[in-house]
Amino acid sequence: MLGTSPARLLAIVLIGLALLLSAVPGPASAAPGPAAEDDEGGTEALRRDLDTATAGYNNARAKAQASQKRRSALVTRIASAEKRITALEDQVQELSAAAYRHGLPDPATAMANSRSLPDMIGNVGLVDSLTRQRRQTLDDLVDTRSDLVAARRRIDTELAKQRREERTMQQRRADAERALAKAKVGGQKSGGFTSDGENNDVPEATGNGEQSTPKKKRTGKKARKATSAPRRGDGSYGSEGCSQDDPTSGGCLTPRTLHALQQTKAAGFTRYVHCFRQASFGEHPKGRACDFAAAAGGFGGAATGGDRTYGNRLAAWYVDNADRLGVLYVIWYRQIWLPGSGWRAYQSGGDPSAAHTNHVHLSVQ
């Protein structure tokens, strides 16, 4: 390289560096738009309202289910008590009949009327046995009747609790649907997706304005069910802090979100995912949300073919396991799933990230 000018030498070095860097494979695509105001569509008010409404719905539903379970146990207990009372009443009648046949005198009279020692022992023993059995049976009968009355009173209380929580569920569901309408992102009912990877919505329009023929549903092995995340004593999910290391970023996750991430992978959904990231609002900066890329290589354009099938299956799997994972909502391909409301239209933006056509968004309570 003798005689090469410094400027030419610098140019050669820069070209070499450029070629070297272009040959090094880069990391999978980053999560949609870090820290943008509406990086995934929607507004801060919408996310806040959905958080409040759907978490309220989930907790009310869990409490209603717990109350119904206790009420079912009480119904079984009442039926058992009623059978026990019938049996005890029969025993009381039998003992009363036996007492009537034998006169049931007091022990002193039984001894006086005995003609011999064996006869005296037999009479006294019979009197004592009948007296003891009747007393115990009557005590059992009184206790069982008291337990029956208390159980019937508690079942009325549990029924009132269940109906109160069901009214709360209706209110929270309406709150979520109003929030969607207010944000003008759609909110109309939609068909959602199926576990076999199909779009369950109305047939899509073809290029000439006509509707395409619905695809034939595929049948295949379903992904394994998720294990349930820990709950509070009343069946609801408590609030959690961002205390666990996020394996998809340098941030943190709540224990429930980490559980959902682990269960997702265990079910076979192992493509690129990114969870924690700084943002001005939403669940990502709280460690309560993850974005699951439809494509194996990361986030890119709108998913098609097998990538879209993968996203459809994953979205459907979250719906099927929502109660076990504490799902707040799921967003995929211009649709959002809310507990109690089901799938709804969600027009939150035009690019693939905002429209959620390149990734499934999961928010956890």
Read off the pLDDT of residues 318-354 as tens digits, 9 standing for 90 and up.
999 999 999 999 999 999 999 999 999 998 888 999 9
Indicate the range of 2-16, 67-81, 220-234 predicted with least confidence: 2-16
pLDDT at 277: 92
**CATH class of the region 185-199+240-365:** alpha beta
pLDDT tens digit sequence for 157-188: 888 988 999 999 999 999 999 999 999 999 99
Residue 29: the pLDDT is 47
Using one digit for the tens of pLDDT, what is the confidence trace for 19-69? 443 333 333 444 554 433 446 778 899 999 999 999 999 999 999 998 888
Count of H helices and E strands in the chain? Answer: 8, 9
- pLDDT attached to residue 107: 52
How many angstroms separate the Cα of 63 from the Cα of each of 57, 325, 343?
10, 16, 24
What are all long-range contacts of 224-228, with beta carbons under 8 Å and residues at least 24 apart?
A: 224/266, 224/267, 224/268, 225/267, 225/320, 225/321, 225/324, 226/260, 226/263, 226/264, 226/266, 226/267, 226/321, 226/324, 226/325, 227/263, 227/324, 228/323, 228/324, 228/325
- Residue 234 gets which letter from DSSP? T
Q: What is the per-residue pLDDT for 118?
A: 54
